[in-house]
Structure 1
């Protein structure tokens, strides 16, 4: 029993260390590629150094969460292939340990990573996503003087049975939206329309300031038009309603995202599937750690003629196939009436079946 405990610690340590090293290798590469693409825009917009450092801290968390299945799969393939090439796996199984028992430290490692990814998805990733998107929308898509002209994010949303709002762009740092309009309808007829060059949220007063305010009231004897340079008003919609759709969902922690989805369901929002995809992925991605670990061990535990290179080639193909299917089904659910729950969990289901088949084959 003591030998088995030592073996568990040995494999578990290799599992976690290899995964960490894989992150330390690939994350800097991602940062270098991102810098090379955006350095000209950063220099042009004179982005402060502290903003850049914070951005790349958030980028690291965002990038890691997005590509975590690939990192995990390749790390397990790598160190399991080394065990197989060194005939360590043959020695372990020859000592009377079953393949199922051999898998135990891998499952423990997958459990640890799943819990970390789950908690990150609930709390840390939304904060990093908000900082990541704040920087991108403020400095990289527009920046400087161009920010005042809008970013063409084009948010159009129904906020009640009779009211619709539209903004051309949204600045997350200043909480300001540009080219704002609000339309009110009664019995499918326009009753009034409010427009403003920009609308800014006032957190202390809990209201909005509209600049270049215009209100057109439609009447039976003619329209009434009111114009003022600046006006403060309260509205029924929340600040999040002015932000781009995916941006909202990505930046909300689990509890707030759940409440936000319920509110949007009551409104009959047409974007509800996008929010649900983000919500369900918070639970499906951690589960993929178990599935990908089982596939990786089953594929690489066998010593092949091509050695570690062949196992890595298979691993890269499987890992990218998983990420590809995950993205395809996510977009499919967002753009159609297909169930977001089924779409998000389909890659796990398909690869779960593959994991079961490969595990049975590996046991033989």
Structure 2
């Protein structure tokens, strides 16, 4: 590799890291706010919150890396133009094609990395997210239990909770129907208060009522404390990743079998999205160079503004296309690939205008 190519790659590295970090942080803001609420209000440990955040990163990075590459390239080559380094490159015989070569190589490597994220890391991240959610539920079942809703998903019990004190995680006015296969009527448990220990609900100051086969009261009593196991409720939570966004491309293709044409649409949209977005990295990197070369007045602010405008337009077009494809208005191929085709067309047009020499 030529010294000048190494110089370009060395200079573009930090701006790309900055761009990826910036867009990733923007995407993470809503998640961070939600997690802060979980720390303050629901009492989830900081370690669990950081783990959750780390599992959110891979799917976000698969979207923000192309954006960061575009911004980083624009910042770098705007600086090269302002400092006349592009002019110096031209003076030693480098064409625009030569200048683009190291950027295309770098963008191609990054594209392969995004595919690796999608096919290997992201499915694992989604699985880990669900696993840690179940862990939190086991440690504090109150997150899964809602007020004034009859819960009938527990194997031996039906639960009704009137009120939950979120600060203390204590429940007030708890009604429990304990199922009995030998009787037509369940045992009724009434508790004034309840708290959680491991995966057990512990009732305090409670009464119980059992009934005969004809529905008449059989036994009435009181007890100071009774444990109600909820482990079966949480064991039934399925940790299998079902969201198609978490599936690798191979699994998405396999899922197309034995599906109707209408059922195939979301899978085809996702398959095309998982190919189109990584490949957009190469086009955006080239576009960043050809847009920046020759504009001597463009600074970081200008580069940032142009980058945001183009990226925003691309995201809007992609999302609109995906929505239309999912609704069957357009083909999944048209809906997903049209924004990329527009990027390619615009990039080729600008490249042809400037390919006479980097000025």
TM-score (norm. length: structure 1): 0.66
Match of 1:253 in 2: 248
**Distance (Å, rounded) in 2 between the aligned partners of 1:117 and 1:72:** 12
RMSD (Å), alpha carbons = 3.7
Quick one: which of 32, 46, 50 aligns to 2:47? 50
For residues 100-141 of structure 1, the C-alpha deviation after alignment (integer angstroms, 9 at most, x for no partner) is 11111111111111111111111112222344466679979x
Match of 2:265 in 1: 273
TM-score (norm. length: structure 2): 0.66
**Distance (Å, rounded) in 2 between the aligned partners of 1:312 and 1:49:** 34
- Equivalent residues of 2:244, 2:252 under 8 A apart: yes
**Distance (Å, rounded) in 2 between the aligned partners of 1:90 and 1:355:** 21
* Residues 321, 44 of structure 1: alpha-carbon distance in 2 compared, 3 angstrom cutoff: same
Q: Which SS does the other structure have where 1:103 is aligned?
A: helix
Match of 2:327 in 1: 335
Q: Which has the larger radius of gyration?
A: 2
**Distance (Å, rounded) in 2 between the aligned partners of 1:91 and 1:118:** 36
- Corresponding position: 1:324 with 2:316: yes
Q: Can you give the 5+ residue segments of structure 1 that lack an aligned partner in the other structure?
A: 151-168, 170-176, 180-196, 198-210, 213-238
Match of 1:165 in 2: none
Matches within 5 A, 1:224-303: 248-262=243-257, 266-268=258-260, 270-303=262-295
Match of 1:6 in 2: 3
Match of 2:111 in 1: 114
Deviation, 1:312, is 2.5
**Distance (Å, rounded) in 2 between the aligned partners of 1:50 and 1:307:** 41
**Distance (Å, rounded) in 2 between the aligned partners of 1:54 and 1:77:** 33
- Corresponding position: 1:38 with 2:45: no
- Corresponding position: 1:97 with 2:94: yes
- Corresponding position: 1:22 with 2:11: no
Total equivalences in the alignment: 277
Matches within 5 A, 1:152-191: none
Q: Which SS does the other structure have where 2:20 is aligned?
A: helix
* Residues 49, 305 of structure 1: alpha-carbon distance in 2 compared, 3 angstrom cutoff: closer
**Distance (Å, rounded) in 2 between the aligned partners of 1:267 and 1:303:** 52
Match of 1:222 in 2: none
Quick one: which of 299, 305, 318 aligns to 1:313? 305
